[in-house]
Structure 1
Amino acid sequence: MHFTKKNAGEKRKDFVNNLKEKKLLRFPGAYNPLCAKLIAEIGFDGVYISGGVMSNDL
C-alpha cells in the first residue's frame, strides 16, 4: 500500500524468505479497495482482492 516504508523489492524478498521458511502467511480476501486498505493497516501479511472486484468497485 501507499503507507508502507518498504519498496517493492524489499516486500518481494521478505515474501520469498517467508515461503522458504514455510511460514504460515495470512492473506484475507477483500471485497472492495477500502476493505483491502483496512486489512493492510491491521497488519496481515497480505491481501487477496480479485481484478473483477477492483474494476467493479472503482
Structure 2
Amino acid sequence: MPVSPSATRGLKSIAFAYDENGEPGLVPTSEPRALETAEVPRITQDFVRAALNQREDR
C-alpha cells in the first residue's frame, strides 16, 4: 500500500501498470495511507542506502 504525508489521493492520479485483466495500461492509483512518524527513520535509511548503492555502481 502506498504511503503519503496524508491519506489523500491526488486528483486524476493514474499510473502505468497491469489492470485486473492483466493488460498493461493506465490505471487509477490506490488510496494511500498516512505515513506514521515512527516510519520516517526507516524510510530515510532506505534513501541513504539507495544513494550509497548508486555511488558504488559508478
Q: Same fold (TM over 0.5)?
A: no
Task: Pick the structure with greater CA Rg.
Answer: 2
Higher relative contact order (CA 8 A, sep 6+): 2
Q: Which one has the bigger helix percentage? A: 1
TM-score by length of 2: 0.28
